[in-house]
Amino acid sequence: MKKVLLSLLIVLFVLAMISLLIVAIQGVGERDRIALVYVRGPIIDVREKVKELKEYGEDDSIRAIILRVESPGGAVAPSQELYYEIKRINELKSVVVSMGTVAASGGYYISAPAELIMANPGTLTGSIGVIMEIPNVEGLMDKVGLKTEVIKSGRYKDMGSTLRQMRPEDRKLLQDIIDDVYSQFVNDVAVSRKMDINKVRGLADGRIYTGKQALDTGLIDELGGLEDAIRRTAEIAGIEGEPNVVTKKEKKSLWDSIEGKVAGSVSDIFPHLRLNYIIYP
């Protein structure tokens, strides 16, 4: 009876050790994870992306983050929100940017603070600059016989109105705002990329660059696609073997779909129309 009990205890001990070993192996695998975060389309509402990045930044099982950027730009403040969140996380763990077809203007801005920026040779990036476009329909209003009466609290309250010609003082005030935001953009790129600010300013005249040209100018670090970025991120994070890449399924509401279709239709009809606030185009 004692021998049977001893044998049973030995078997249980061996099974317990095997279980602990399996858990340990799985734990190592769980700690060797890379998060893949997608930023697609115009950068307008970034609350969910900031939340997602923050969660990955605080998750000890995530060794590094890949930011896949497919964006032509967006509004100033949201782009800056993403920029500062990525900059903060990159101080905790490596952030690698993988540029897709286009990562320009605001799309480049949010990429700048990453530890490593990769792009395909034909990626369109750069477009470092700021723009505000305000349609003027005063002539059309005159033709159809429509007039508006404006009651305002201050001289500049209707600044940027589409219903009248812009006054010189309005233009100067708006130009000062554009220049200030542009300086913020250039300075953030220079600091993040560790480049001379005058060199950045020379590159930041609104032009776009291919991935290959961006590499030559120092705006990105390496050429390669998403799979290359995954391999490089694993190397940077010290992960041996095939990394475990995790990503969140993007939820898209019915309103998002409708809004996207409407925006696309308006853009097709009025290719130069811009929302009435400053954007990184």
| Catalytic residue list | 105, 157
Phi, psi of 110 (to 5 degrees): -70, -20
Element holding 210 (H helix, E strand):
strand 208-210
Look up residue 239 and give its amino acid.
I
Task: Decide if 74 contacts 53 (C-beta within 8 A).
Answer: no
Instruction: Quote the CA–CA distance of 47 and 78 in Å, as a whole number.
Output: 9
Instruction: Quote the CA–CA distance of 200 and 53 in Å, as a whole number.
Output: 27
Query: How long a stretch of residues is the chain?
Result: 281
Task: Give the distance from CA 23 to its chain's centroid.
Answer: 36
Torsion, CA 61, CA 64, CA 65, CA 66, rounded to 10: -130
Helix, coil or strand: residue 281: coil
